Structure 1
Amino acid sequence: MTAGTIEHVRFQNKDMYWEIAADIYFPKNLDASNTYPTIVAAHPIGSCKEQTSGNIYGAALSEAGFVVIAFDASFQGASGGLPRFLENPHQRVEDFSRVVDYAVTLPYVDAERIGVLGVCGGGGYTWAAAKTEKRFKAVVSITGANFGNLQRSMAAMNGGIAAALKGIAQQRTAEARGAESVTNAFLPETAEAAEATGDIDIIEAFDYYRTSRGQADNGCVLFEAAHSSTVLGWDALDHAEELLDQPLLIVIGDKDKQGAFGAYRDGHTAYEKAASTDKTLLEIPGASHYDLYDRPNGAGEALRSVIPFFQEKL
């Protein structure tokens, strides 16, 4: 542990057969004899801790005096678990509690001042996790997307949800009988193909994940096919009107109203449904979904509110 540095860690909880990989960002003024407010940071779907949750939000929050634990979801990034690239909402939500279980063992973490931040699908999972993980005292979503809504919308545009579930079932049966695992790519193969969709989220996703802007070894944007049925019946905001009661900051960009990932819509829904009596919906003018990943007019503007929010609530 050194002030102003990043420590790469791996840990394994009692309920796991695999390890979770995380990067811990330390404040520059770290005093080993003190405890610090700590933020758990979750990456987007198909992404990893080196993309936006860690290198942008983790770095900025540690600069502001917080310890930040940016983690890779189970089955993804540098974390363990098979099958690879599994996107199971129940496991994704449980990972948040696994990270908190680890955090509270660290001598420099103030266990009574832990917050959570998630980006894109990680933001949707943040809402879901905070409903039942009350060690989180403050909650921030950055262009949060409800992955259940997203997958149902995409299935509806590609033959329907029933057809999607039938295809998943057939693939699962085939693999049970010895077939090779199949992964689905979330993005078109070329920038031209992305442009042809006419959708701002797909176009900008290609620019982020497939160029030097955001490329990372573990940010593969791949999804395992045979075990993906769960998400089609899952919703990040089920019972939010009863359970999502912590102080809440929801950040969206107003340029993303028609984006395929639905973050603008989901942000408004989360704000309306959340039980919290201390909640803010921040629309950043002129910012798109991916501006909120790393651009000054997006992430930079978001941090102008995120940092004081955590300073006040933690």
Structure 2
Amino acid sequence: MRKVKFKNRNWDTVANLHLPDNFDETQNYPAIVCVHPGSSVKEQTAGLYAKKLAQNGFIALAFDASFQGESGGEPRYLEEPTARVEDIRCAVDYLTTLDFVDKNRIGLLGICAGGGYAANAAMTEKRIKAVGTVVGTNASRAFREANFLETLEAVSAQRTAEANGTEPMITQWTPNSVKEAKQTGIDEFDMLEAIDYYRTSRGKYPTSNNKLLFTSMSNLIMFDAFHLAEFLLTQPLLVIVGDKVGAFGSYRDGFDLYSKAASKNKKIHIVKGASHYDLYDQPKATAEALNELILFFNENLLSK
């Protein structure tokens, strides 16, 4: 693995470039961009998938989103959907500069919110030749189903306060512990599993610090990751979901993306007995997902 950098606008995006076993710089490899979930970083689930894809013959690039992790950009902890989509385009730009990457065999994999961003990017980024999602979510759908008008009022008030000298409001993606969640009345298993993944030794990573700029919420509410997929998402598509359905909605979003996509070559695969977060790192669930992904990318990238 190599740590690398590429530009998005005028800041550095920091990435890990995972290389195949017996890597030979004189050869030409297919490559896959791996997009992490909201609140995540490149060393977590996106890195797990990238490492396994590299072991199966692909160059795999996992990067930190702009404003987060080791990547640059201000303000910090901003979740900006259009910037996250641009991150993907810039990652493709970077891959095309590498002599050992076949510019005509670049694929894309997104996990959770990264799946929504991946689908959205592929609609207009036709250098991407195949798209896979694992528990991909249309994050805006989830936020719009909450008290979104109240949230937008609060964001507007906060922006006014910050324009007049108040410090930016930094909130959290999840409670810091299961105990804290339950004390506030949260007992839904997707959220509890998110805490178990992100806030314990299971998946915790120092640069994934559970911080979210509150004013990001207006961006998230407005952005529909699947808008125009029925016209523009034409590449081969593999959607992977688990059938243990939780409140985060990735099962429903997976079927929504599958049904909307204009792709003639598309498939949805259901991992039986798997929850959203099982497909982040649990060996049985991720092994099944990776088997499907490797077959899919072999068919649509290696055989080209």
What range is the shorter-chain TM-score in?
A: over 0.9
**1:35 equivalenced with 2:35 (yes/no):** no
In the alignment, structure 1 residue 10 sits paired with structure 2 residue 10: no
Asked if 1:178 corresponds to 2:173, the answer is no
Q: Is 1:187 matched up with 2:182?
A: no
Question: Residues 155-202 of structure 1: CA distance to partner in whole angstroms, max 9, x if unpaired?
Answer: x2xxx2221111101111111111111111121232124355231110
Bigger mean CA deviation after superposition, 204-213 or 191-200: 191-200
2:16 pairs with one of 23, 28, 44: 23
Q: CA contact under 8 A between 1:29 and 1:65: conserved in structure 2?
A: no
CA contact (8 A) 2:151 2:217 kept: no
Residue of structure 1 equivalent to 2:292: 305
Q: Which moved more, 1:221-230 or 1:87-96?
A: 221-230
The answer to whether structure 1 residue 260 and structure 2 residue 247 are counterparts is: yes
1:223 Cα deviation from its structure 2 partner: 1.2
Matched, 1:98 2:90: yes
1:113 to partner: Cα distance: 0.2
Q: Which residue of 1 aligns with 2:106?
A: 114
Distance 2:136 2:221 in 1: 18
Cα distance, 1:221 vs structure 2: 2.6
Choose from 44, 47, 58 the match for 1:66: 58
Identify which of 210, 215, 221 aligns with 1:221.
210
- Distance, in Å, in 2 between the alignment partners of 1:197 and 1:169 is 26
**Residue equivalent to 2:80:** 88
Of 37, 60, 64, the residue aligned with 1:44 is: 37
* Unmatched runs of 5 consecutive residues or more in structure 2: none
Q: Which deviations, in whole Å up to 9, do the C-alpha atoms of 1:34-57 show, x marking residues without a partner?
A: 110000001010110000101x10
Inter-partner Cα distance in structure 2 for 1:249 and 1:296: 20
The residue aligned with 2:260 is: 273
1:248 equivalent in alignment to 2:240: no
Any conservation in 2 of the 1:138–1:313 contact (CA below 8 Å)?
A: yes
Residue 150 of structure 2 corresponds to: 163
Which of 219-228 and 109-118 deviates more? Answer: 219-228
Q: Give the Cα separation in 2 of the matches to 1:61 and 1:189.
A: 31
- 3-state SS of paired residue (1:38): strand
- What SS is found at the alignment partner of 1:229? helix
AA in 1 matched with 2:212: F
- Give 1:3's aligned residue: none
Q: How does 1:116-131 map to 2 (within 5 A)?
A: 116-131=108-123
Assess if the C-alpha contact under 8 Å between 2:6 and 2:90 holds in 1: no
How far apart, in 2, do the equivalents of 1:162 and 1:209 lie?
Answer: 28
Who is 2:134 aligned against?
142
Q: Secondary structure at the match of 1:297?
A: helix
Question: Does the CA contact (< 8 Å) of 1:86 and 1:228 recur in 2?
Answer: no
Unaligned runs of 5+ in 1: 1-5
Count of aligned pairs: 299
> Match of 2:279, as an amino acid?
L
Q: 1:152, CA displacement in angstroms?
A: 1.4
Verify: 1:283 aligned to 2:244, yes or no: no
Structure 1 length-normalised TM: 0.93
Does the 8 A contact of 2:68 with 2:78 survive in 1? yes
Give yes or no for the alignment of 1:292 onto 2:279: yes
Q: How far off its partner does 1:260 sit?
A: 2.0
Identity %: 47
Give the RMSD, CA atoms, in angstroms. Answer: 1.1
